[in-house]
A and B are shown apart, each in its own frame.
Chain A
C-alpha cells in the first residue's frame, strides 16, 4: 500500500524535546519531508532529507532516517508553545511520477 503512518497526538512540556515518528512505504523514495500546519493555515515546509543521508540538523530540528526500517523522525529541541501545530511527514514516490504522499499528521500540544 501507499500509507504513510504517524501517531496522531503528542503532548510535551515547554522546554522539553519532542520526537515525532513516521513510517513510510516506498523504499525507493529519494526525498522525505516534514511539513507543519497551524490551525486554519496551509502546510509549511520545515525540512527535508535526501535518502542517502541518515541525519540532518537545522537549528532546533533534527531529522533521523532509518532506510532499512523505513522510519523517519523529527526531533524538536527546546519545544516552545509556538511549536504547537500538526506535523506531517511525506514521501516522494518516484515510481508515481514524483508525487508526495502525506501521513495523517501528528498533533503536537505544548503545555507551559
Chain B
C-alpha cells in the first residue's frame, strides 16, 4: 500500500492560474518535504515542515507556498504559475528525532505539472 500519496498524478493549469498539489502520508512522520524536479535534474528542495514549523529554502520563489493542516496532509500552492514552473513535484516524509537521525525520506510518486 502506498504510504506517501500525491494527488493528482498529472495536473494541467493555465499560466497565472493558481494551483494546489496535495500530499498525504500514513507513516505518521513528523517531517514533510516538497521538492521540484525538472527533466534530467536533481530534485530541488523547496521547503519542509518539521512538525508545524515551516522551513523555507532561501532560493524558493515567493510564488510557492505550503500548508500543513495536520500531521497527515501537506499542500503545495503555486499562486501564479509560470511556464518555468512546469516540473515534477515530489513530496517526501521522514521521521527525524534530532540532527543525528538518518533522515531516510520516503517519496510519493509525484505530480507532473504542465503550464499552458
Interface residues of A (CB under 8 A from B): 4, 8, 30-31, 33, 35, 40-45, 48, 88, 92, 94, 97-105
Interface residues of B (CB under 8 A from A): 4, 6, 40-43, 45, 48, 55, 90, 92, 96, 99-110, 112
A73 to B4, CA, bound (A): 28
Taking a contact as CB atoms under 8 Å apart, the answer to whether B40 and A99 are in contact is no
Nearest residue (CB) in A for B50 is: A97
Q: Which 5 A-B pairs have the closest CB atoms?
A: A42-B107, A102-B42, A43-B107, A42-B109, A104-B42
Nearest residue (CB) in A for B6 is: A42
Nearest residue (CB) in A for B107 is: A42
A-B contact count (CB 8 A): 58
Taking a contact as CB atoms under 8 Å apart, the answer to whether A102 and B100 are in contact is no
A48, A94, A99, A105: the one within 8 Å of B42 (CB):
A105
Taking a contact as CB atoms under 8 Å apart, the answer to whether A42 and B4 are in contact is yes
Taking a contact as CB atoms under 8 Å apart, the answer to whether B100 and A30 are in contact is yes
Taking a contact as CB atoms under 8 Å apart, the answer to whether A44 and B104 are in contact is no
Taking a contact as CB atoms under 8 Å apart, the answer to whether B42 and A42 are in contact is no
Nearest residue (CB) in B for A104 is: B42
B41, B99, B109: the one within 8 Å of A98 (CB):
B99
Taking a contact as CB atoms under 8 Å apart, the answer to whether A88 and B103 are in contact is no
> Are A88 and B42 CB-contacts (below 8 A) given A42-B110, A43-B90?
yes
